[in-house]
Amino acid sequence: MNDIDQLPADYMKVLYRAILNLFNETENDMGKQGRSYASYYVKEEFKELVRGYHAEAEWADKCHVPTFDEYVRHGLATSAYGVLKAASFLGMEEGEEYEWLKSNPKIIKAGKMIGRLMNDIVDHEDEQKRGDCASGVECFIKQYDVSDKKAIEEIQKMVANGWKDINEDCMRPTNAPKVLLQHFVNLIRVTDVFLWE
């Protein structure tokens, strides 16, 4: 807990304590059931999310517009899809399922990509008005020197390709149980409905 003192604002300290307590409680509960691996996976995804947020905060602070490729590397984490996915699977009984998830298969990468890029398409104008860091749309425009409309069209193609990857992984034999794949696809569908409605 001594890391708390290094945080620059009181609200961050409160949030840090709350998250730490949540993880400790979850870890204790999962440990009693002999499934401590479950909370470990959620914690690792959350760390990845925070690292992505930190990178975006630095970009916004420095008015830096990264390349689209650099943005996507961090943006996959800040879609929060990894944390949602990991937390929603806390009830899984088998450690092998977590090993499959940790391998970051194509279906998972595609889901993160879809969530990140769809959010960027929908919110990029509002984010720019607020002075947030550059979204994927602005990064694409800068890297490829294209219009706003062209950037959105190209990003929409990437989203469509992500769905193709998901469908492909659902059709081919995998170590993951079908119920796990279906749950994962349903999480992505919720993102789709939430952002486009």
Q: What is the CATH number of the domain that holds 135?
A: 1.10.600.10
Report the alpha-carbon distance of residue 134 to residue 179 in Å, rounded: 37
- pLDDT over 80 at 62, yes or no: yes
Q: Exposure pattern of 39-61 as b/e (b: 16+ CB <10 Å)?
A: bbbbbebbebbeebeebbeebee
Q: Give the residue with greater pLDDT, 26 vs 177.
A: 26
Residue 107 in contact with residue 165, Cβ under 8 Å? Answer: yes
Asked if 70 and 122 sit in the same domain, the reply is yes
User: What's the confidence (pLDDT) of residue 144?
Assistant: 97
Is 92 domain-assigned?
A: yes
User: What's the confidence (pLDDT) of residue 158?
Assistant: 97
Report the alpha-carbon distance of residue 112 to residue 38 in Å, rounded: 20
- How many domains does the chain divide into? 2
Q: Which domain holds residue 21?
A: 1-34
Q: Give the residue with greater pLDDT, 33 vs 7.
A: 33
Asked if 84 and 164 sit in the same domain, the reply is yes
* Mean pLDDT calculated for residue range 12-24: 85
Is 136 domain-assigned?
A: yes
- pLDDT over 70 at 58, yes or no: yes
Is 120 domain-assigned?
A: yes
Asked if 65 and 15 sit in the same domain, the reply is no
Token pair of 14 as six digits: 């409160």
Token pair of 163 as six digits: 């769905």
